[in-house]
Chains A and B, each alone.
Chain A
Amino acid sequence: MSEDVVKLKGLLFSSDAQVLSVMNQVLDNFEIETEVCIELSSALDAVSNTKLDTLIMDWTGSDDSIQILNAMRNSAQNAKSTVLAMVTGDLEVQSATKAGANFIIYKPVNVDQATRFLRASYGNMLMQRRRAVRCSVDIPVTADVIGTGPVEGKIVYLSVRGLAFQCRHAMQVDQHLAMAFKLPGTAALIHVNGKVVNVATPDDQTRAGVSFSSVPPKEFTVLEEWMSNHSPKLPSQLIAPDNRPTAS
């Protein structure tokens, strides 16, 4: 049976034919599924509505560049995604960094430079993707909700940054809670403190999105390992970035 491998997704915003040609080769080698935009409106739509692991953009320092990067950082799903800015001079370096770009490369770019550039940023993309991955689970648990007391329910989704807690009790955003639960298939007990960040009420139930505020370090490592074993494989788990083919 073939393994389910999640591909990273990227957006390339550039109308420079040379950049498109170079990045075409490089991004294919990294197996990053890439959408290309050369106009502001389509780029804004993509960064706002698509989960992206990376945005690679021609940074002109213009309002367009800033608008796209701001939209990316303001999107809940892409706020921490990796942004690579291609610049032509030092002034653009300053403005791109200030606006939140993670990596900078000078133009014109060739395949070797772009490959090194992608390799350097690839680890960051994978780290963010791992943090964003969530697993569907069914873990009965009692939450100790501050100001309310014990609330019985179950964890229905789990990630390294938080969980979704489903119960029949009303919950509110900003409520703090603590809970301890066993990871399925293990004896490992995980203690978490967290805060409710969103609440939905499907089918007369309450589903609270909880962001972790603290997890003991050893238990966090166990949780990370468990998540890594129970979520779709990321490309790097099959091919280390350093062993990826170098484009010629």
Chain B
Amino acid sequence: MRARVLLIDDSRFLRSALEKTLIAKGFEVQVAGDGEEGLRLAREDGKFDLILLDLFLPKMTGHEVLRLLKEDPATATIPVLVLSGLAKEKERQELMNSGAVDCLVKAQDLMAVVASAERCLKLE
């Protein structure tokens, strides 16, 4: 069965690029353009194998989404890979302490994000 990924990011281009590439790699992908929609999709269908979560989102920040995902037993076990515009180690540690499996710098090559997603799914 194909691994299922939920991608939550407000940048349409970035969403489109990652979605297309992940689908080409054989994943099933659902996308959300803001935090509320992302949380709703994750709760309605808690069977995602991975969530790619941007931190700077409209309606609800990525930090809040991460916290609520981890508080809800239905979604708490889904690995969350955070995409951040900032690269500070302190922030990375905080996010990992909040339950993220990793925090990637969004400014880097998106193929690295795809490779990290693949790694996470293999570990799962």
Contact = CB atoms under 8 A, between A and B. Distances in A.
Given A12-B13, A15-B17, A20 B24 contact: no
Best-surrounded residue of B20, B21, B110, B113 (most CB of chain A within 10 A): B110
Interface in A6-33: 12, 15-18, 20-21, 23-24
A15 B13 contact: no
Given A36-B16, A36-B20, A16 B109 contact: yes
Contacts of A16: 109-110
B20 A37 contact: yes
B47 interface: no
A26 to B, nearest CB: 10
Q: How large is the interface on A (under 10, 10 to 19, 20 to 34, 35 or more residues)?
A: 10 to 19
B54 to A, nearest CB: 10
A24 B111 contact: no
Contact of A34 (B11, B13, B14, B108): B13
Nearest to B106: A17
Contact of B110 (A12, A17, A34, A42): A17
B107 interface: yes
B111 A15 contact: yes
B67 interface: no
Given A17-B106, A17-B107, A39 B11 contact: no
A38 interface: yes
Interface centre among A16, A36, A41 (most CB of B within 10 A): A36
Secondary structure class of chain B's binding surface, majority of residues = helix
Given A15-B17, A17-B106, A20-B17, A38 B11 contact: no
Contact of A39 (B24, B106, B107): B24
B107 A36 contact: no
A16 B11 CA distance: 13
Contacts of B40: none
Q: Which of B13, B14, B106 has the most CB of A within 10 A?
A: B13
Contacts of A15: 17, 109-111
Nearest to A38: B17
Contacts of A37: 17, 20
A38 B107 contact: no
Interface of A: 12, 15-18, 20-21, 23-24, 34-39, 41-42
28 contacts: A12-B13, A15-B109, A15-B110, A15-B111, A17-B107, A17-B109, A17-B110, A17-B113, A18-B107, A20-B11, A20-B17, A20-B110, A21-B11, A21-B13, A23-B13, A24-B11, A24-B12, A24-B13, A34-B13, A36-B13, A36-B16, A37-B17, A37-B20, A38-B20, A38-B110, A41-B24, A42-B20, A42-B24
Interface of B: 11-14, 16-17, 20-21, 24, 106-111, 113
